[in-house]
Structure 1
Amino acid sequence: MNTIDKNHRRTVSPKKRVVGFNILEDRCIWMKAGVVNYRICDNAFDCNACTFNKAIRKAMNIDPAADSRTVAPKWVDYLIERYDGANRPCRHALTGRISAPKICSNNYECYHCAFDQMLDETELAVDLKTPACHEVAGYKIADDYYYHMGHSWARFEHGGRVRIGLDDFAACVFGHLNRVDLPPLGAEVQQDRVGWSFKRGDHQAGVLSPVTGTVLAVNHPAREHPQLVNEDPYGSGWLFIVEPDLPKRNLKRLFFGREAVQWIDQENRQLMHLMGPPYENLAATGGSVVRDIFGTIETLEWNALASRFLHTTRKNRT
């Protein structure tokens, strides 16, 4: 079997790497197939939108038209060659999507595999558990989540799909919501444009989408019970899932890791400034935060909060 030397692999800066949430295995499928010596997946196993996958196909003279979602991709040939039929592991076990060992009985023809379809449908409707979090200035930041300047979060999942919600800072600032209006299935949302909105009494605010893509699923319990967004914004209060366009391009506008920590700290200082002198000295102390800041601090104005923290100006409204 011909092997492409590892020195030819493309390096990607940490800012451009899509960190997939809760992915147990991060070795590229081309490495699993023995085509490259070493390659770490930097696109949450979204092979169809992966520039490295496209480069490998080009280097191997593979016609892109013959490697679509409805035809077995070329690396399948190498997997079949590498593993004999009796011990051929499922592609989803190879990529860490499932932790239990499973043998492929379908010759890697995932496009008409009932198990493959079942995984997709299950993950779209999964009831999320609250992820591991740490606190910054009293607000929770979920590990391995990306954050948008408009206080929405994005969680990249296996295959490149993105789960979206409102972050803990905004959930605390705007407090107990009466209504959440989500985009319909099939709708296109655009990064930095209003993708959904929420209401509290007579007040309403739009929220910018953290990524560009097509809506695949919405969280009906959160829509029917908006208090979930306030109580558990990173878990049961998630809002919808999209199939993103060019995921890495979206990363340029998102905070991750240390950047997110610094950003939330700055946002908290701005909030304390809006709350007035009695609170400004508390900006550096952290501590517990009430879950309904707008309803607690009478001097805060809804429109001022929405403009400052959600960035829903006339320019980016739909």
Structure 2
Amino acid sequence: MNTLRKKSPVPSKKRVACFNVIEDRCIWMKAGVINFRICDNAFDCNTCAFDKALRKAMRIDPHVDTPTAAPQWVAHLIERYDGANRPCRHALTGRIAAPKICPYNYACHHCPFDQMLDEVDLAADWGRPVCRTVSGFALAADHYYHMGHSWARFEHGGRVRVGLDDFAARLFGHLNTIDLPPLGAEVLQDRVGWTFGRENHRAAVLSPVTGTVLAVNHPVREHPQLVNEDPYGGGWLFILEPDIPKRNLKRLFFGQESVQWLDQESQKLHDLLGPPYQLLAATGASAVRDIYGSVETLRWELLTAMFLHTSCKP
């Protein structure tokens, strides 16, 4: 009996794994205020309960423009950094290599440099992540997966990059259209977030997280084949600002859970295909790029219901 699918896939520890972050120590640890703590919120300090509690204990008010840090906090930083002014938190976390002084007492929401970094990250090309092959399909490291075969990648500051996973990209093959949500739109976890089409067929995809759309991948709209060719790289779809990063871990697979889930999904496909399954091995260890187009007996509506958990009329 498939017991994995009967429970909500929640990681054992609610720690947001942040993609492409070399240094994961909390900025308060880097500053020497606390002995040890690993960031578990993708460096989204504004929604971090620990950051809020520490600021309250140190009498740092994040709602005013004038810094009100307790004297011992300022003195501690001056002593730790050899008389220099307090360093920018992005230098402390390794987000920037060059030294920079913080003029806002870590009230980053007032800082234009912080906003500029966010804008740069939205346009940044992080390249292809490290992937492993699971049952013929690519599974990207540090990515969270939704049961509807969308993926979520948490990036610095808690933002989430979203896409379609390699399994779905290969299953539905060469797409003709991608309809993405507009900027500023709110998408909800487990609700339809976007649609795609192939010839006279349509499919709806569930969003892996809840949040507001900050950016969309315009090249994918013009060239939907990017999703099939590079689902974890140039084929990403849009970027969200989630309400609370940790809250979005609900119903997502991560790490070894993702491996087990993808194995089960591959077995479901194997059982569905029967004898034609050997077509999936046409490129060696990986499945072919267009499973739907390679097996004439496959029904589009059945695939969307079974693997995307949605239905969409032509």
TM class, shorter-length: 0.7 to 0.9
- Provide the rounded CA distance (Å) in 1 between the counterparts of 2:151 and 2:67: 33
User: Conserved in 1, the CA contact under 8 Å of 2:149 and 2:307?
Assistant: yes
Q: Does 1:54 align with 2:49?
A: no
User: Conserved in 1, the CA contact under 8 Å of 2:213 and 2:239?
Assistant: yes
Aligned CA distance change for structure 1 residues 73 and 131 (closer, same or farther; 3 Å): farther
Which amino acid letter does the alignment assign opposite residue 18 of structure 2? G
2:127 to 123, 126, 129: 129
Matching residue of 2:139: 141
Alpha-carbon shift at residue 221 of structure 1 (Å): 0.8
User: Conserved in 2, the CA contact under 8 Å of 1:222 and 1:229?
Assistant: yes
- Provide the rounded CA distance (Å) in 2 between the counterparts of 1:258 and 1:137: 14
- Provide the rounded CA distance (Å) in 1 between the counterparts of 2:241 and 2:64: 14
- Farther off after superposition, 206-215 or 89-98: 89-98
- Provide the rounded CA distance (Å) in 1 between the counterparts of 2:209 and 2:24: 23
1:67 to 48, 62, 66: 62
Q: Report the 3-state secondary structure (helix = DSSP H, G, I; strand = E; otherwise coil) of the residue aligned with 2:248.
A: helix
Name structure 1 gaps, 5 residues minimum.
1-12
- Provide the rounded CA distance (Å) in 2 between the counterparts of 1:255 and 1:28: 24
Q: Report the 3-state secondary structure (helix = DSSP H, G, I; strand = E; otherwise coil) of the residue aligned with 1:180.
A: strand
Matching residue of 2:268: 270
- Provide the rounded CA distance (Å) in 1 between the counterparts of 2:13 and 2:209: 15
- Provide the rounded CA distance (Å) in 2 between the counterparts of 1:224 and 1:142: 25
- Provide the rounded CA distance (Å) in 1 between the counterparts of 2:246 and 2:36: 21
Structure-to-structure mapping, 1:45-194, within 5 angstroms: 45-60=43-58, 66-68=61-63, 78=74, 80-81=77-78, 82-83=80-81, 86=84, 88-98=86-96, 100-104=97-101, 106=103, 108=105, 110-111=108-109, 113-194=111-192
User: Conserved in 2, the CA contact under 8 Å of 1:228 and 1:236?
Assistant: yes
1:32 to 27, 30, 33: 30
- Provide the rounded CA distance (Å) in 2 between the counterparts of 1:237 and 1:298: 26
Structure-to-structure mapping, 1:155-304, within 5 angstroms: 155-279=153-277, 287-304=285-302
**TM-score between the two structures when normalised by the length of structure 2:** 0.85
Q: Report the 3-state secondary structure (helix = DSSP H, G, I; strand = E; otherwise coil) of the residue aligned with 1:16.
A: coil
Give the RMSD, CA atoms, in angstroms: 2.8
Aligned CA distance change for structure 1 residues 216 and 171 (closer, same or farther; 3 Å): same
Aligned CA distance change for structure 1 residues 203 and 28 (closer, same or farther; 3 Å): same
Alpha-carbon shift at residue 312 of structure 1 (Å): 1.2
User: Conserved in 1, the CA contact under 8 Å of 2:131 and 2:141?
Assistant: yes
Number of equivalent positions: 297
Matching residue of 1:10: none
- Farther off after superposition, 272-281 or 14-23: 272-281
User: Conserved in 1, the CA contact under 8 Å of 2:89 and 2:102?
Assistant: no
Which amino acid letter does the alignment assign opposite residue 205 of structure 2? V
User: Deviation digits for residues 203-233 of structure 1, max 9, x if unmatched?
Assistant: 0011100000111110111111111111000
User: Conserved in 2, the CA contact under 8 Å of 1:89 and 1:104?
Assistant: yes
Name structure 2 gaps, 5 residues minimum.
1-10
- Provide the rounded CA distance (Å) in 1 between the counterparts of 2:233 and 2:254: 18
Which amino acid letter does the alignment assign opposite residue 52 of structure 1? F
Matching residue of 1:3: none
Matching residue of 2:3: none
User: Deviation digits for residues 267-296 of structure 1, max 9, x if unmatched?
Assistant: 00101111124538989xx82210000011
Which amino acid letter does the alignment assign opposite residue 256 of structure 2? R
User: Deviation digits for residues 44-70 of structure 1, max 9, x if unmatched?
Assistant: 1111111222332344455xxx31497
Which amino acid letter does the alignment assign opposite residue 196 of structure 1? W
Aligned CA distance change for structure 1 residues 313 and 178 (closer, same or farther; 3 Å): closer
- Farther off after superposition, 225-234 or 80-89: 80-89
Q: Report the 3-state secondary structure (helix = DSSP H, G, I; strand = E; otherwise coil) of the residue aligned with 2:13.
A: helix
Which amino acid letter does the alignment assign opposite residue 147 of structure 1? Y
Which amino acid letter does the alignment assign opposite residue 101 of structure 1? A
- Farther off after superposition, 124-133 or 158-167: 124-133
- Provide the rounded CA distance (Å) in 2 between the counterparts of 1:291 and 1:26: 36
- Provide the rounded CA distance (Å) in 2 between the counterparts of 1:41 and 1:265: 31
Sequence identity percentage: 68
Aligned CA distance change for structure 1 residues 105 and 70 (closer, same or farther; 3 Å): closer
- Provide the rounded CA distance (Å) in 2 between the counterparts of 1:272 and 1:254: 23
Which amino acid letter does the alignment assign opposite residue 131 of structure 2? C
Alpha-carbon shift at residue 24 of structure 1 (Å): 1.2
User: Conserved in 1, the CA contact under 8 Å of 2:104 and 2:111?
Assistant: no
Q: Report the 3-state secondary structure (helix = DSSP H, G, I; strand = E; otherwise coil) of the residue aligned with 1:235.
A: coil
Alpha-carbon shift at residue 130 of structure 1 (Å): 1.1
